[in-house]
A and B are shown apart, each in its own frame.
Chain A
Amino acid sequence: MLFNSFGFLIFFPIVTCVYFLIPQKLRYIWLLAASYYFYMCWNAGYALLLFSVTAVTYLGALAMERFPKRKLFLALTVCINLSVLFAFKYFDFALSNINGLLARFSIMPIEPGFSLLLPVGISFYIFQALGYTVDVYRKEIYAEKNFLRYALFVSFFPQLVAGPIERSKNLLRQLKKEQHFDYLRMRKGLLIMLWGYFLKLVIADRAAIFINAVYEDPSFYGGVYLAVATLLFAVQIYCDFAGYSTIARGAALVMGFSLTENFEAPYFAKSVTEFWRRWHISLSGWFRDYLYIPLGGNRKGNFIKYRNLLLVFLASGLWHGAAWNYVVWGGLNGIYQIAEGCVRDGMAKKKKEEIGDRNPDKSGKPLKAKGDAGTVRGTIKGMAGAVFTFLAIDVSWLFFRSDGIAGALENLKSILGMRNFHVLTDGGIFSLGLNRYHFLFLLFAVVLLWIVDFIRYRGMDIFARIEEKKVIVRYGIYLVLFCLVVLFGIYGVGYEASQFIYFQF
Chain B
Amino acid sequence: MRRVSLFTSNFRKKAVGRALGAFLFLCLFFGIEKCMEFALINDTNEWSRAMFHDFYTRQENIDLLFLGSSHVYCGMDPAVLKEKTGKSCFNMATPAQPLNGSYYLLKEAVTYHDVSHVYLELYFGQSTGEEGRFKEAGQLPRNWRNTNYMKPSFRKLSYMLTMSDPSLAYMTFLPARRYTADFFEPEKIKETIRQKRTENYRNYYVENVLNGVTETYVKDGFYYSGHKAEGGVLYDTVRPEPFPENPMTKEAETYLRKIIEFCQKRNIGLTLYCVPVTDYQASLYGDYDRYVSQVKEIAKEYELFFYDFNLCKEGVLDLTDDALFRDKGHLNVYGAEVFSVCFAEFFKGLEEGTVTYEDYFYPSYQEKLSHSKERILGLLVEKREGTKGEALKDTGGETGKEADREAEKGTGGETEGKWLDYRITPIHNLKDREVEYLIYMQDEQGEKQIFADWTGGGRDGFDVRIPRESGTVFIEARPKGETETTNFVQIAQ
A interface list, Cβ under 8 A from B: 5-7, 10, 180, 183, 435-438, 441, 471, 475, 478-479, 482-483, 486-488, 492-494
Instruction: Please list the 5 inter-chain residue pairs (A to B) with the smallest Cβ-Cβ separation, ordered nearest first.
Output: A6-B167, A437-B184, A438-B184, A493-B137, A435-B184
- Determine if B170 and A479 form an interchain contact, defined as CB atoms under 8 angstroms apart: no
- Determine if A487 and B171 form an interchain contact, defined as CB atoms under 8 angstroms apart: no
Assembly CA distance A436 to B186 (angstroms): 11
Which chain A residues border B171 with CB–CB below 8 Å? 492-493
- Determine if B1 and A180 form an interchain contact, defined as CB atoms under 8 angstroms apart: yes
B177 at the interface (CB under 8 A from A): yes
Q: Which of A7, A10, A487 contacts B180 (CB 8 A)?
A: A487
**Which residues in window 158-194 of B have CB below 8 A to A?**
166-168, 170-171, 174, 176-177, 180-181, 183-186
Which of B27-35, B208-216, B350-358 is near enough to bind chain A? B27-35
- Determine if A482 and B184 form an interchain contact, defined as CB atoms under 8 angstroms apart: no
Q: Which of A7, A475, A488 contacts B25 (CB 8 A)?
A: A475
B18 at the interface (CB under 8 A from A): yes
- Determine if B168 and A493 form an interchain contact, defined as CB atoms under 8 angstroms apart: yes
Q: Which of A5, A6, A10 has the most CB of B within 10 A?
A: A6
Assembly CA distance A228 to B180 (angstroms): 24
Q: Which of A10, A183, A479 contacts B28 (CB 8 A)?
A: A479
Assembly CA distance A438 to B29 (angstroms): 22
13 contacts between A and B (CB under 8 A): A5-B167, A10-B166, A435-B185, A437-B183, A437-B185, A475-B25, A478-B25, A479-B32, A486-B177, A487-B33, A487-B180, A492-B177, A493-B137
Q: How far is the CB of A429 from the nearest CB of chain B, in Å?
A: 14
Q: How far is the CB of A205 from the nearest CB of chain B, in Å?
A: 13
B21 at the interface (CB under 8 A from A): yes
- Determine if B28 and A487 form an interchain contact, defined as CB atoms under 8 angstroms apart: no
Q: Which of B21, B33, B184 has the most CB of A within 10 A?
A: B184
Which chain B residues border A494 with CB–CB below 8 Å? 181
Q: Which residue of B lies closest to A181 (CB)?
A: B4
Which chain B residues border A488 with CB–CB below 8 Å? 180, 183
User: What is the size category of the interface that chain B forms with chain A?
Assistant: 20 to 34
Q: Which residue of B lies closest to A436 (CB)?
A: B184
B344 at the interface (CB under 8 A from A): no
Interface string of B395-438 (1 = CB under 8 A from A): 00000000000000000000000000000000000000000000
- Determine if A483 and B29 form an interchain contact, defined as CB atoms under 8 angstroms apart: yes
Q: Which residue of A lies closest to B15 (CB)?
A: A183
Assembly CA distance A438 to B185 (angstroms): 9
Assembly CA distance A482 to B30 (angstroms): 11
Q: Which residue of B lies closest to A476 (CB)?
A: B28
B36 at the interface (CB under 8 A from A): yes
Assembly CA distance A494 to B180 (angstroms): 11
Q: How far is the CB of B21 from the nearest CB of chain A, in Å?
A: 7
Assembly CA distance A435 to B186 (angstroms): 11
Q: Which residue of B lies closest to A7 (CB)?
A: B167
Q: Which residue of B lies closest to A433 (CB)?
A: B181
- Determine if A482 and B29 form an interchain contact, defined as CB atoms under 8 angstroms apart: yes
Q: How far is the CB of A219 from the nearest CB of chain B, in Å?
A: 23
**Which residues in window 236-294 of B have CB below 8 A to A?**
none
Q: How far is the CB of A1 from the nearest CB of chain B, in Å?
A: 12
Q: Which residue of A lies closest to B140 (CB)?
A: A493
Dominant secondary structure of chain A at its interface with chain B: helix
Q: How far is the CB of B235 from the nearest CB of chain A, in Å?
A: 31
Known: A487-B32, A492-B170, A494-B181. 5 other contacts (CB 8 A): A437-B186, A471-B21, A475-B21, A475-B24, A482-B25
Assembly CA distance A492 to B171 (angstroms): 8
Assembly CA distance A314 to B234 (angstroms): 68
Dominant secondary structure of chain B at its interface with chain A: helix
Assembly CA distance A438 to B186 (angstroms): 11
Which chain B residues border A6 with CB–CB below 8 Å? 166-167, 170
Known: A6-B167, A493-B137, A493-B171. A487 touches B176 (CB 8 A): yes
Q: How far is the CB of A439 from the nearest CB of chain B, in Å?
A: 9
Assembly CA distance A478 to B449 (angstroms): 68
- Determine if B167 and A479 form an interchain contact, defined as CB atoms under 8 angstroms apart: no
- Determine if B18 and A183 form an interchain contact, defined as CB atoms under 8 angstroms apart: yes
Q: Which residue of B lies closest to A437 (CB)?
A: B184
Which chain B residues border A7 with CB–CB below 8 Å? 167
Known: A180-B1, A183-B18, A492-B168. A479 touches B25 (CB 8 A): yes
Q: Which residue of A lies closest to B36 (CB)?
A: A487
Which chain B residues border A5 with CB–CB below 8 Å? 167
Q: How far is the CB of B359 from the nearest CB of chain A, in Å?
A: 49
Q: How far is the CB of B174 from the nearest CB of chain A, in Å?
A: 7
Known: A438-B184, A492-B168. A486 touches B28 (CB 8 A): no
Which chain B residues border A471 with CB–CB below 8 Å? 21
Assembly CA distance A436 to B29 (angstroms): 27
Interface string of B27-67 (1 = CB under 8 A from A): 01100110010000000000000000000000000000000
Which chain B residues border A478 with CB–CB below 8 Å? 25
Assembly CA distance A486 to B170 (angstroms): 9
Q: Which residue of A lies closest to B1 (CB)?
A: A180
Q: How far is the CB of B28 from the nearest CB of chain A, in Å?
A: 6
Assembly CA distance A436 to B184 (angstroms): 8
Which chain A residues border B177 with CB–CB below 8 Å? 486-487, 492
Which chain A residues border B18 with CB–CB below 8 Å? 183
Assembly CA distance A33 to B25 (angstroms): 34
Assembly CA distance A483 to B31 (angstroms): 11
Which chain A residues border B24 with CB–CB below 8 Å? 475
Assembly CA distance A186 to B33 (angstroms): 26
Assembly CA distance A180 to B29 (angstroms): 30
Which chain A residues border B1 with CB–CB below 8 Å? 180
Which chain A residues border B32 with CB–CB below 8 Å? 479, 483, 487
Assembly CA distance A436 to B185 (angstroms): 9
Known: A6-B167, A435-B184, A437-B186. A486 touches B21 (CB 8 A): no
Q: Which residue of B lies closest to A440 (CB)?
A: B184
Which chain A residues border B168 with CB–CB below 8 Å? 492-493
Assembly CA distance A462 to B170 (angstroms): 30
Which chain A residues border B29 with CB–CB below 8 Å? 479, 482-483, 486
- Determine if B21 and A441 form an interchain contact, defined as CB atoms under 8 angstroms apart: no
Q: Which residue of A lies closest to B137 (CB)?
A: A493
Which chain A residues border B166 with CB–CB below 8 Å? 6, 10
Assembly CA distance A494 to B183 (angstroms): 16
Q: How far is the CB of B357 from the nearest CB of chain A, in Å?
A: 45
Q: Which residue of B lies closest to A478 (CB)?
A: B25
Q: How far is the CB of B38 from the nearest CB of chain A, in Å?
A: 14
- Determine if B186 and A487 form an interchain contact, defined as CB atoms under 8 angstroms apart: no
Assembly CA distance A262 to B431 (angstroms): 78
Q: Which residue of A lies closest to B3 (CB)?
A: A180
Known: A471-B21, A487-B174, A492-B170. A441 touches B33 (CB 8 A): no
Q: How far is the CB of B34 from the nearest CB of chain A, in Å?
A: 11
Which chain B residues border A479 with CB–CB below 8 Å? 25, 28-29, 32
**Which residues in window 113-165 of B have CB below 8 A to A?**
137
Assembly CA distance A6 to B167 (angstroms): 5
Q: Which residue of B lies closest to A430 (CB)?
A: B184
Which chain A residues border B137 with CB–CB below 8 Å? 493
Assembly CA distance A28 to B364 (angstroms): 67
